[in-house]
């Protein structure tokens, strides 16, 4: 991450998240032709009309999720695999990140990037992540990097009690929402306006 981005985030995002991001080489997660721009604090194109999220957004989402060592995390919208790699650092070798992407070419791109970066505790799968990934549920944390019309019920149901889900919700105006599963029901916290590509699928926007 660039020094100016670090300075902007220091104080509002935990040092643990910033340190994890410092250990993941973002240039390995963007197409070769734009590696010179890898550390700019903005989304960058990764092909198939999709983007790798801006570093500050990855930092904020990881911070809001409060990802601990050893956790089992579901990541919806793998894209380049960068966000999954940062979460893999946060869960450490005892934890695991399951990351699901609907576009085959991006799932392949992400697997190559994760291998090049030496990340071992991320499994990339192809499919409609708006349905979650029941095979490996329940999850301690769920990260969704695409905006949904409303919070998908399967994702809420695949959280452990005490588990947390972060997701952008809305179309014209999108808001980052944190959902925590309680013993009974769910609590919601709103974390301000954001801009994401749509979550397309059964519990997302229509394709």
Interface contacts to ligand SAM, rule CB under 6 A: 50-53, 76-77, 79-80, 82-83, 100-103, 106, 128-130, 145-146, 196-197, 199-201, 204
Question: Cβ 170 to ligand SAM, closest distance in Å?
Answer: 15
Token pair recorded at residue 71: 């956790």
Residue 27 vs 187, nearer CB to ligand SAM:
27
Residue 47 vs 162, nearer CB to ligand SAM:
47
- Indicate if 171 belongs to the active site: no
Question: Cβ 183 to ligand SAM, closest distance in Å?
Answer: 29
The residue from 53, 80, 99, 130 that is catalytic is 53
Question: Cβ 76 to ligand SAM, closest distance in Å?
Answer: 5
Token pair recorded at residue 61: 């989402």
Residue 132 vs 163, nearer CB to ligand SAM:
132
Closest CA to 167 of 188, 146, 187, 138: 146
The Cβ-side half-sphere exposure at 176, using a 13 Å CA radius, reads 19
Residue 139 vs 196, nearer CB to ligand SAM:
196
Question: Cβ 97 to ligand SAM, closest distance in Å?
Answer: 11
Helix 55-65 to helix 82-91 angle (10° resolution) is 40
Q: Assess contact for 142 and 158: CB atoms under 8 A.
A: yes
DSSP SS3 for 5? helix
For residue 91, with 0-12 CB atoms within 10 Å meaning exposed, 13-18 middle and 19 or more buried, which class applies? Answer: buried
Catalytic residue IDs:
53
């Amino acid at each position: 991450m660039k020094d100016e981005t670090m300075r902007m985030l220091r104080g509002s995002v935990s040092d643990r998240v910033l340190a994890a991001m410092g250990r993941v080489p973002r240039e390995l997660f963007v197409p070769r032709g734009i590696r010179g721009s890898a550390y700019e604090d903005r989304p960058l194109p990764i092909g198939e009309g999709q983007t790798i999220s801006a570093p500050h957004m990855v930092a904020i989402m990881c911070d809001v999720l409060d990802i601990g060592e050893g956790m089992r995390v579901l990541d919806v919208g793998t894209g380049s695999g960068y966000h999954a790699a940062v979460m893999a650092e946060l869960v450490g070798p005892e934890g695991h990140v399951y990351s699901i992407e609907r576009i085959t070419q991006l799932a392949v791109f992400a697997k190559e990037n994760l291998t090049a970066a030496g990340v071992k505790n991320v499994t990339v799968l192809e499919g409609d992540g708006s349905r979650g990934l029941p095979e490996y549920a329940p999850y301690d944390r769920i990260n969704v990097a695409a905006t949904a019309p409303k919070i998908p019920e399967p994702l809420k149901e695949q959280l452990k009690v005490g588990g947390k889900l972060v997701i952008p919700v809305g179309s014209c105006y999108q808001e980052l929402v944190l959902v925590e599963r309680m013993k009974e029901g769910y609590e919601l916290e709103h974390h301000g306006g954001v801009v994401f590509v749509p979550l397309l699928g059964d519990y997302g926007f229509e394709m």
